A and B are shown apart, each in its own frame.
Chain A
Amino acid sequence: MSPYPPQLAELVEEFASITDRNERVEALIEIADRFDEARVPADIAVKPYAEENHVQYCESDAYVWAVDNPDGTLSFYFDVLNPQGLSAMAMSVVLSEHLSGAPLEQVSKLDTELVFKLFGREVSMGKGQGLMGIIAMVRGAALDRLSKRN
């Protein structure tokens, strides 16, 4: 059984079927092109952003916000200050589209292996570190809310 929420599991399955590197890259660029939809709105945060939202080790200067929904789930918003940070933007869009509103239990179990499932094994350590940092922030927010609930 997939550890991911259904929509994310579907996306991961789609990427698993991609064997051509260029096709994978094009798919990720298409996702990154939707970054404006995942970007944090001004009523949640404006620059300069708080350090607590800053993703550790991310060379693209990514930021993550988790906003509580009335049903107890979270909505996730992002910013990536480096305009060259396309991979960070793609990861942000994936997490925004597929984890906002998902059960916290599932979000809290998100693993960093997702980076390789989407980007492939060849992503450099520096790049991977930043992408995993974004995941860690999202998962951390879910764990935080779950701990307060119990």
Chain B
Amino acid sequence: MSDIANRGYANPDVLVSTEWLANNLDTPGIRIVESNEDPLLYPSGHVPGAVQIDWTHDLNHPLRRDYLDKAEFEALMAKNGITNDTTVVFYGDKNNWWAAYAFWVFQLFGHTKAKLVDGGRQKWTQENRPLTREVPSYPATQYVAQERDDSTIRAFRDQVLTHVRAQKPLVDVRSPQEYTGELLHMPNYPQEGALRGGHIPGAQSVPWARAANPDDGTFKAAADLRAIYEGEKGLKPEDEVIAYCRIGERSSHTWFVLTYLLGYKNVRNYDGSWTEWGNSVGVPIEK
């Protein structure tokens, strides 16, 4: 039994170890995908055979603030040689922050054959595993996606308002400074800024990275995660939970933890997050 299987997760199969990845680099039916915050990392060296899916260029709509539509997702899959039966194995920098975001977008289109590499890029490089600058090319595929499902794991502003009024739990995964409103946005960074600081009323502050072990970026064991989300913050597995951050990427990580590792059935990611809420007229804010 692997270390991952011993950690008490609700769905341990959604994680693979770096060792597993090293042993499956050439396994048919698997596509390794790197998703990073830092655009320099993949070209500077990546897991052999991995393709890059970039959060700005590949996952977001080029014009509207939204994600790909069905046809665009199908094109992305075809370009990267991914079929409906391919198991997509995500990894990335920052404790898999952006890899979890890509994973979440894939779930909007129902691609459930998806896994995260525990520890991501950090653990892979710490173990001195091979990296290459060779960008692979795979034969284009035919991929048929479902229509994007925004109803199950994605939350919109008005739904969040209803959620707040019903006093249901929210998790604010930003830094404590952002939660208190001390840090609004950085100078010269208006595109991710907000006119008001603070947090959505009732939201509990659990910075996203608390779910990861800082030494190697792996996820904490289920008992440790429960101590944070349930012991400290009072969440319950049967709760309807909405997670948010600034633009919805860090909260994808927390969505992943609550949904797959702790087995919560009803967790949504509010990707409008603080850049929408903190700029919206008339919505309630707490400091």
Contact = CB atoms under 8 A, between A and B. Distances in A.
A83 B44 contact: no
B121 interface: yes
Contacts of A142: none
A124 B187 CA distance: 13
Nearest to A128: B189
Interface residues of B, number: 23
Contact of A84 (B38, B186, B189, B191): B38
Contact of B189 (A21, A59, A85, A129): A129
A122 interface: yes
Contacts of A125: 185-186, 189, 191-192, 246-247
A93 interface: no
Interface in A111-146: 112-113, 116, 121-129, 132
Contact of A126 (B37, B56, B122, B125): B37
B118 interface: no
Contacts of B37: 124, 126-127
A86 interface: yes
A121 B56 CA distance: 11
A102 interface: no
Given A125-B185, A125-B186, A83 B125 contact: yes
A64 to B, nearest CB: 18
Nearest to A121: B191
Interface stretch (A5-13, A24-32, A43-51, A69-77): A24-32
A84 B44 CA distance: 10
A127 B246 contact: no
A61 to B, nearest CB: 12
A84 B121 contact: yes
A72 to B, nearest CB: 29
A32 B38 contact: no
Interface in B171-210: 185-189, 191-192
B253 interface: no
A96 interface: no
Interface of B: 37-41, 43-44, 56-57, 93-94, 121-122, 125, 185-189, 191-192, 246-247
19 contacts: A29-B40, A32-B40, A32-B44, A59-B94, A83-B125, A84-B93, A84-B125, A86-B40, A86-B44, A113-B188, A121-B191, A122-B56, A124-B37, A124-B192, A125-B246, A127-B38, A128-B186, A128-B188, A132-B188
Q: Which 4 A-B pairs have the closest CB atoms?
A: A86-B40, A125-B192, A122-B56, A129-B186
Interface of A: 21-22, 25-26, 28-29, 32, 57, 59, 83-87, 90, 112-113, 116, 121-129, 132
